[in-house]
Amino acid sequence: MLFSGQTISFPVYKGNESNLVKSDVIKFNQSDIIDLKFATMDEASYSFWQSFQLEVI
């Protein structure tokens, strides 16, 4: 369990800026600051976004 002010390190995939252009830059720079927010999603919403992603890619 983490509390406010604690830090952890783990690799995070940056993702593509566009699905139309191939980019080899898949990692963040060491100076980048990343904020993560974890959230929940119901199964219907997850299924929608998953099917949308499969159609786009």
Asked whether 28 and 14 are in contact (CB, 8 A), the reply is yes
Residue with tokens 């983490």: 2
How does pLDDT run across 37-46, given as a tens digit for each residue? 778 889 999 9
Count of residues for the chain? 57
The Cα–Cα gap between 56 and 14 comes to 18
Give the pLDDT confidence score for residue 23 in this predicted structure.
61
pLDDT of residue 51: 92
Q: What is the pLDDT of residues 48-57, one digit of tens each?
A: 989 988 887 6
Position 16 scores a pLDDT of 64
Is there a contact between 39 and 2 (Cβ–Cβ < 8 Å)?
A: no
